[in-house]
Amino acid sequence: MNYTTTLTNSEPIVVTIGNFDGIHRGHQHLLQRLHSLAEQLHSKPVLVTFTPHVLMVLRPDIYVQYLTTLEEKLQIAHQSGYIQDTIVINFTPEVAALSAEDFMDQLCQRFQIRGMVVGSNFSLGHNRTGNVAFLQDYGQRHGIEVQSVSLEEAGQERISSTRIRTLVSEGQVEEANRLLGHPVQVGGIVVHGDQRGRVLGFPTANVRPDPHKLLPANGVYAARVFISKQEGPESDGQAISPVYNGVVNIGIRPTFNGKERLVEAHLLDAKLDLYDAYIVIEFIARLRGEQRFPGIEALKAQIEADSQQARHILALRSVSN
């Protein structure tokens, strides 16, 4: 088992293990419990996750799309204030083949695990035999306190990454944001486009996101944009960058007979050279679906209307953390 961490082998830790796609409100509730148990056991709260996404190894026949890249996931988890370190396990067919007992044995050989907090429906190991009952038995045999947590519910439905992915894919970003506890975000390097936006009088930053990143449905969105001249979310650009209001279009631009799906961000009331910058877009509200317009003037009029609507919506919302 290969992994990446800054932990030493001698530090007492309390861990939670999982994919944690999105770090949604249910995950955050679990991390809060992790932090509390770590304080009780005088240990460091640690999130254990995997790269690549486990389904890319377990189900190579499907195209995996995730709410958060690894870097985004770790950043959001750290910003929650509930974890102090991470262990990122390189997920391979060999790791997937480990029994739950062998998986836990390998972790315990490398780290001083004093406690675990997992979801009530959690399982790990080959054939998913490492459920809560197994972990509690394992914990009794190895001096590890194991707690299970029921993930939060909303509207009589359990908050799940699957449900949130459905909302995002349908463009329902406001409901997705509510369940996430933070805005849906898409980050990427700004690349050169065909500069049609500049010709229209609404220059856009063309973002190249991770190819497996789940994008909101095609359409136009009110958004906030954070900018970092360094590449990648690990630069923590959101913590050091001013925030800009924006209008973001996702789609193929049917008015111009486009074929490639693009993410284009227009900053409201700001003119910046963003080429080669890493930007993070937070989606606040959906304004409309993608449309084909009869001509350039009709499109320009609609973009102006979209911009005014976005200004109004964003003025009513406080800047996200």
List pLDDT tens digits, range 25-45: 999 999 999 999 999 999 999
Is pLDDT of 106 > 80?
Answer: yes
For the segment 13-29, the average pLDDT, to the nearest whole number, is 95
CA distance linking residue 310 with residue 249, whole number of Å: 12
For the beta sheet containing 85-90, the strands, ordered from the edge strand earlier in sequence to the opposite edge, are 3-4, 85-90, 44-51, 12-17, 112-119, 145-149
Average pLDDT over residues 60-88: 96
Higher-confidence position of 193 and 217: 217
Q: Which of 49-53, 134-138, 281-285, 289-293 has the lowest mean pLDDT?
A: 289-293
- CB-count exposure of residue 289 (10 Å: 0-12, 13-18, 19+): exposed
pLDDT in tens, 125-159: 998 899 999 999 999 999 999 999 987 665 566 78
For residue 102, pLDDT beyond 50: yes
Assess whether pLDDT exceeds 80 at residue 94.
yes
The pLDDT-based confidence of 111 (bands split at 50, 70, 90) is very high
Q: Is the per-residue pLDDT at 55 higher than 60?
A: yes
**pLDDT above 90: residue 12:** yes
Work out the average pLDDT over 207-236: 83
- State the chain's mean pLDDT as an integer: 89
Range among 180-194, 232-246, 252-266 rated most confident? 180-194
pLDDT band, residue 198 (cuts 50/70/90): low
pLDDT over 50 (residue 237): no
User: What's the DSSP call for residue 213?
Assistant: B
Strands (E), the chain: 3-4, 12-17, 44-51, 85-90, 112-119, 145-149, 153-154, 157-158, 184-191, 205-208, 219-228, 243-251, 262-267, 278-289
Q: How many CB atoms lie within 10 A of CB 199?
A: 10
Question: Residue 124 above 90 pLDDT?
Answer: yes
Q: How far is CA 90 from the centre of its chain?
A: 19
Token reading at 228: 């970092």
Q: What is the mean pLDDT of residues 62-76?
A: 96
